Amino acid sequence: MASDTQSKLQLVHAHIRAFPDFPKKGILFRDICPILKDPAALKAVIDLFEEHVRKNYCHVDLIVGLDARGFLFGPLLAQRLGVGFVLVRKKGKLPGATVSVAYDLEYGKAEAEIQEDAVIPGQKVLLIDDLLATGGTLFAAYELMKKQQAEVLGSLVVVELKELNGIDKLRPLSVFSLVQY
């Protein structure tokens, strides 16, 4: 099983491209689009996430995906686990009554929101996104879940950029990443 996990991790890693100086000079952008284009690589991501969740959490009610790339992996994982999926969107993108939190970006501020009835107090949730950089977006989602009185079990990301120390902002929330740079 360990060699199967290793081969899946190698497949995922091989499908992440690096683009220097994007979106601005000095940034090395990690692109997960090749994972989405390759069915085996995408399956490997979901397999690895599913294996981690089943091994570490006895009960999960919802997968909470972050706008927009958490929407790519979250529903697939939720379906595998037989649980629901909830969207965390940028402000103004969801109909009906919403709950929001403001958070800081490298270059300004933003707001994230969910529909008011998306999460019931006490539900056990896992957050999912493609990448952990500075931790701002995942922290905002964590704050939204706390506002809704959900129990946040942890978070899952495909890529973690360790040098940006985003994990420090998320403590004590656990972060599981498939690939670290």
Pairing of β 17-20 and β 28-31: antiparallel
Which of 109, 179, 89, 165 has the alpha carbon at shortest distance from 133? 165
Q: Which one of 17, 54, 106, 163 is the catalytic residue?
A: 106
171 is catalytic: no
Residue of 30, 69, 113, 160 marked catalytic: 69
Do residues 177 and 16 lie in contact, with contact meaning Cβ atoms separated by under 8 Å? Answer: no
H/E stretch holding 33 reads helix 33-37
Q: Please, what sign has the CA dihedral across residues 22, 28, 30, 31?
A: positive
Following DSSP, what letter does each residue of 120-155 receive, concatenated? -TT-EEEEEEEEESSSHHHHHHHHHHHHTT-EEEEE
Catalytic, 69? Answer yes
Active-site positions read 69, 106
